[in-house]
Structure 1
Amino acid sequence: MHIKTSNQEPFTLGIGDYTCNLGLHVAGLYETEQERDDIIMGFLSQGYKEGDLQLYCPAERTAEDFHEKMHHRCPHCNTYDRNYFQIDSAKDLYYPEGTFSPKQMDIGLNDFFTKSQENGKRTIRATAEMVWALDAIPGSELLMVYESRLNYFIAGKPWISICLYNVNKFSGATIMNVLRTHPFTINGGILTENPYFIDPDIWLRENYPAYLNI
């Protein structure tokens, strides 16, 4: 089933039978480890099959647990090959200096993307377990600023991000803001356009105008 998610070329999501378009920003909502892993393993194993570069940030599990379970799900996937898999801890990816900063994330992601394209256009599949933000990391109150601004970053790029939120751990208010900052959702294995999404120009102007990027 194809769902048009942008004007870029189509790709196979690896979840269900969905095909979409590059330039995709999705909130992956789940309640169980099985639901979480169905998203992660399907998404990343499809990317490995297609030669994409996978960026994954585990937070509810260790990297070793991911390698083991991914091997069972996808025996041919060499998750230790950094030409195809980059596995970063939440600290390394989101707050390497101890503080989370949306603007520093902009810089880091742009650097990562630029380097990934040095040998030609390559699709990036990124997914992360966002429960790290519940650990009172300085600056984590700006997480939704980052999520809203990520729509600017992804637009027009061969990039797909699935941001994973455990609905049993985040408050209802936070999940509502997740919905306001992600144009698409995956829930119960179903990909849908999100009716609660608010364009970042509007959401940032109303909530964090200092981070507006028009």
Structure 2
Amino acid sequence: MKETNPDTMSFAGASLSRHRHICAFFNGSEDAFQVLGPFIRDGFLCDHRAIHLVGADKCEAHITRLRCEGIDTEASQISGQLEIRNTVDTYLKDGLFDQDRMVEEFSALASGNMNGNFPLSRIVCDMDWAAKNREHLRDLIEFESRINDLWNQHDDVVICVYDLTKFGGDTIMDILRTHPAVVISGVLRENPFYIPPVQFLTELRERRFGKGEQWAAAE
């Protein structure tokens, strides 16, 4: 086992700070894995747990890419070090996105709540599922802000992967505002657009209330 200090982990050309809830913007899965692959491989060398939330249509290709990185996917899944979940099954139980349920789901995945076999979790989330439903997307943006309160309590790394070809500019801006760190052009940076949850959620609710007034006036 390779011993590591959680304060010295690197990703996308930079050292990770205490802020480890990251939005990563790419153009397609291949572009994403060029940056994610080395980080995922390093996690296995460090005996960290790998939790990957992947779209059903991408699962086979994702496993192939892991194997190309030298990862024994079958043995890792048997040992519990690798867990691959379907994004729709995870985020949309019975077709609904329930923010409170997802907070509980991620809390259970955090390293502090595991059985002690793995010191940290490296969680990679494919967010393509959210692009298909505007209602889900609205709730997701609120959730992405709320979940910072959980991840600030753990050293786990959580990477939310957004395909720039699937999300509009307004959505990308809101996603930026809900993540303290960002990967753009393959490089990790502290995010100057990040707004803490208390402030962002207040602004978000005011924005929605304002739109509601406008809609009511138009009827």
Q: Pick the TM interval, shorter chain.
A: 0.7 to 0.9
Is residue 2:41 matched to residue 1:51? no
Matched AA of 2:40: L
Higher alpha-carbon deviation: 166-175 or 138-147: 138-147
Specify the alignment match of 1:64 in structure 2: 60
In structure 2, what is the Cα distance between the partners aligned to 1:24 and 1:114? 13
Once the two structures are TM-superposed, the CA of residue 60 in structure 1 deviates from its matched residue by 7.8
Is residue 2:6 matched to residue 1:12? no
Gap runs ≥5 in structure 2: 207-219
Report the TM-score when normalising by structure 1.
0.84
In structure 2, what is the Cα distance between the partners aligned to 1:202 and 1:184? 17
In structure 2, what is the Cα distance between the partners aligned to 1:14 and 1:206? 31
Once the two structures are TM-superposed, the CA of residue 40 in structure 1 deviates from its matched residue by 2.5
Specify the alignment match of 2:33 in structure 1: 37
RMSD: 2.3
In structure 1, what is the Cα distance between the partners aligned to 2:134 and 2:177? 22
| Aligned-pair identity (%) | 22
Once the two structures are TM-superposed, the CA of residue 120 in structure 1 deviates from its matched residue by 6.1
Aligned CA distance change for structure 1 residues 176 and 138 (closer, same or farther; 3 Å): closer
Once the two structures are TM-superposed, the CA of residue 98 in structure 1 deviates from its matched residue by 1.6
Q: Is the 8 A contact 2:182 2:189 kept in 1?
A: yes
Matched AA of 2:47: G
Once the two structures are TM-superposed, the CA of residue 138 in structure 1 deviates from its matched residue by 5.8
Specify the alignment match of 1:78 in structure 2: 72
In structure 1, what is the Cα distance between the partners aligned to 2:59 and 2:92? 18
In structure 2, what is the Cα distance between the partners aligned to 1:92 and 1:43? 25
Q: Which residue among 160, 165, 170 is the counterpart of 1:163?
A: 160
In structure 2, what is the Cα distance between the partners aligned to 1:39 and 1:116? 28
Specify the alignment match of 1:113 in structure 2: 110
The number of residue pairs the alignment matches comes to 199
Larger helix proportion, structure 1 or 2?
A: 2
Report the TM-score when normalising by structure 2.
0.82
Gap runs ≥5 in structure 1: 1-7, 210-214
Matched AA of 2:95: G
Specify the alignment match of 1:205 in structure 2: 202
Specify the alignment match of 2:170 in structure 1: 173
In structure 2, what is the Cα distance between the partners aligned to 1:69 and 1:22? 29
Secondary structure of the equivalent of 1:185? strand
Specify the alignment match of 2:139 in structure 1: 142
In structure 2, what is the Cα distance between the partners aligned to 1:31 and 1:67? 19
Q: Which has the larger radius of gyration?
A: 2
Secondary structure of the equivalent of 1:62? helix
Once the two structures are TM-superposed, the CA of residue 66 in structure 1 deviates from its matched residue by 0.9
Deviation beyond 6 Å, 4+ runs, structure 1? none
CA distances 1:22-51 after superposition (whole Å, capped 9, x unpaired):
550111011243321123212211111111
